[in-house]
Structure 1
Amino acid sequence: MALYLIAFVLAFLIAFFTTPLAKKVAFKVGAIAKPRKRDMHKKPIPRMGGIAIFLGFMITYLVVIKYMPIIDTKQNIGIIVGSFIIFFLGFFDDIYELNAKLKFLIQIAAASIVALCGIRINFISIPFLGDSFFSTTVFSIPATVIWIVGITNAVNLIDGLDGLAAGVSSIAALSLMALSISTGYVPAVVLTATLAGACIGFLPYNFNPASIFMGDTGSTFLGFTLAVTSILGLLKGYTMATIFIAVLVLGLPIFDTAFAIIRRFLAGKPIMSPDRGHLHHRLVDKGYSQKQAVVTLYGISGILGLSAIAFFNRSIKFVFIVFLMMGFLLYFNMKAMSSHDKNNEN
């Protein structure tokens, strides 16, 4: 537990104290988010906060593996090389707004490196059927690449409100950490603790009203790292958990992205085209403030994470408590919206 706490605190402190540096870099290279029609901010804001998240995570990770080699060398290489590729992809995308197809190909390359270095989805257990499972040996590399690229883009797509992606990623990382503690796989626990610390260290600068955005530098890196750590902690072995559990933990970005794809397909638009149909946009359009929308989505993400832990431990009482929390969240949100509507009428 001391190792996990050290990893969390070190990543938090590095991210917190390097965020002002990230602001300076963003201004110097011209990575400034100017207000667009679909955006929520009204003035130009630097968008390279992901530098601080990356530094918090990577420096801590390198320190940990130097003094405690928790993962084999080949897997270390995959994580480090893949992370640097994704980081620099986001870095240059924040400056030059790269072509979507080019970004997709580079993401596939980074995910392939991770898979070829031994971090793969080898088995998937079947939900609610005990230790029943099927092997993905033949398709392990393609399955791993699809998972990593999918989660990378899912987290990127929810980065639409101040503090949303950082907070949801923190909650997902902490949920994965709790599950990884249950499986007893130390490397996954350290990685998720490190990622959560880096996200939370950045959050004070990013929560509404944000003074800096994480940009693609941060959102794609967060998605990539969450995907990789979920494989290490959950999907690698059939005795650990099911794909169902991992999908629950990362449910908010996964479901939002899935609906976005369906929505754009039915409208005859390119799948990667931006719009204001995401869940966070819909909440704001319904009258929520940015803070209300973000906190609501934090609650949903937290409930999904707790649901995953409950299902993993097969605790009926825990599942009941989770659904009770979901009911309270729905009640208070409906009450808040009713109050908002009455104020508008007055």
Structure 2
Amino acid sequence: MLEWLVVHFCIGVAGTWLARRYALMRSLIDQPGERRSHSVATPRGGGIAIVISLLVAAVALGVRQPDQAPLMLAFGVGLLMVAGIGWVDDHRPLSPWIRLGVHVLASALLAIAIGDLYDSMWLGLAAFVSTLVLTNVWNFMDGINGLAASQALIAAVGLAWFAGGAWTLLALALAAACLGFLPFNFPKARIFMGDVGSGAIGFALGALCAVAGGRMGDRFALALLPVSVFLVDAGLTLLRRVLRGERWWSPHTQHAYQAWSRAAGHGRVTVCYAAVSLVVIIASWGVMPRDAFFIAGTTVAWYMCCAFFWLVLQKKFQAQLPH
């Protein structure tokens, strides 16, 4: 286990360092602007290191556990599709509809594989929804130093507890690679994750949520807790933009974390989000032995608490939101 973590941590460190050199050579730089939360020109594309780590893990696990090989293959191909379209978009901006189309195909591929392996149409549907949603949620929420990587690390550790078998090792590979990436991105960002990393991380977490939820049966709601903070912030912000008639697919800085970071700074917001996620994951481990009704009620109550604090943050920092 320790060797597994060390290998993927080293891939994260070395891959991010190489990605930064490549980004500087190719002038892949994110410039500050009114629709961005940073104030210094910064290279992008460092998330390719996390993608490589996940692909190495998927191949290794597929070889070591042949019964999981078809699913690991589908996961790897889907991950490559999401990361590939993100890599292209990092080099030259693409239409959001082209990116979404690729995301749909990647999610459908994994959903078919999961539904076939577990002989469950419902689990396949859950895999399609979770991967498609989280692919885009992580892309939306990758806006300040360290936030997306730290939340992915914590969520992966939480899901590793629930997933079991090969998927536990895949989750730990994701966590270790994110840990290797973080020193380059937090507290000071020397490189950003880029679309290549944020979308791929969301896809991986969506797959882990589906597999973990299927394994836990009627306690599946526990799989929704490790990603709850991001789901609420992204979901409610998107809903508000739709209700206002805004171009919801275009870049913006209206998330609660972005409004808060303008007042408190990136570091404090990232640490606070991490602390909240750690608390809810530890709590989810604690309630795991309880019955399904209690777990479902607890999950709903937690999401309502997250929604309440989203409203508090938006109201408190409303004056600092762009008009």
Q: 1:108 to 1:190 in 2, by over 3 A?
A: same
How far has the Cα of 1:238 moved from its partner? 5.3
Answer yes or no: is the 8 Å Cα contact 1:121–1:141 preserved in 2.
Answer: no
Say what the alpha-carbon RMSD is for the aligned residues: 2.6
How far has the Cα of 1:100 moved from its partner? 0.8
For residues 201-248 of structure 1, what are the alpha-carbon distances to aligned partners after superposition, in whole Å with 9 as ceiling and x for unaligned? 10010102110000111100100001112222x222453731x21221
1:271 counterpart (224, 229, 248):
248
**What residue is the counterpart of 1:203 in the other structure?**
182
CA distance, structure 2, for counterparts of residue 301 and residue 121 of structure 1: 31
**What residue is the counterpart of 1:341 in the other structure?**
none
Answer yes or no: is the 8 Å Cα contact 1:120–1:144 preserved in 2.
Answer: no
Which segments of 5 or more consecutive residues in structure 1 lack a partner in the other structure?
Answer: 124-135, 331-336, 338-346
Greater Rg over alpha carbons, structure: 1
Work out whether 1:147 is the aligned partner of 2:130: yes
Answer yes or no: is the 8 Å Cα contact 1:170–1:195 preserved in 2.
Answer: yes
CA distance, structure 2, for counterparts of residue 103 and residue 120 of structure 1: 26
User: What letter matches 1:227 in structure 2?
Assistant: G
How far has the Cα of 1:271 moved from its partner? 2.5
**What residue is the counterpart of 2:172 in the other structure?**
193
Q: 1:313 to 1:238 in 2, by over 3 A?
A: closer
User: What letter matches 2:224 in structure 1?
Assistant: V
Work out whether 1:298 is the aligned partner of 2:277: no
How high is the TM-score relative to the length of structure 2? Answer: 0.84
How far has the Cα of 1:57 moved from its partner? 2.3
For residues 271-322 of structure 1, what are the alpha-carbon distances to aligned partners after superposition, in whole Å with 9 as ceiling and x for unaligned? 222222212112123x212111110111122122223222323399xx9xxx
Q: 1:225 to 1:71 in 2, by over 3 A?
A: farther
List aligned pairs for 1:56-71, cutoff 5 A: 56-66=53-63, 68-69=64-65, 71=67
1:79 counterpart (75, 79, 101):
75
Answer yes or no: is the 8 Å Cα contact 2:114–2:123 preserved in 1.
Answer: no
**What residue is the counterpart of 1:241 in the other structure?**
219
How high is the TM-score relative to the length of structure 1? Answer: 0.79
Q: 1:170 to 1:118 in 2, by over 3 A?
A: same
Which segments of 5 or more consecutive residues in structure 2 lack a partner in the other structure?
Answer: 310-315, 317-323
Higher percent of residues as helix: 2
How many residue pairs match? The answer is: 298
CA distance, structure 1, for counterparts of residue 288 and residue 23 of structure 2: 42
How far has the Cα of 1:170 moved from its partner? 0.2
**What residue is the counterpart of 1:215 in the other structure?**
194
How far has the Cα of 1:71 moved from its partner? 4.5
Work out whether 1:25 is the aligned partner of 2:30: no
For residues 38-58 of structure 1, what are the alpha-carbon distances to aligned partners after superposition, in whole Å with 9 as ceiling and x for unaligned? 323222211110111112222
Answer yes or no: is the 8 Å Cα contact 1:112–1:145 preserved in 2.
Answer: yes
Q: 1:72 aligns to what SS in structure 2? A: helix
Answer yes or no: is the 8 Å Cα contact 1:35–1:44 preserved in 2.
Answer: yes
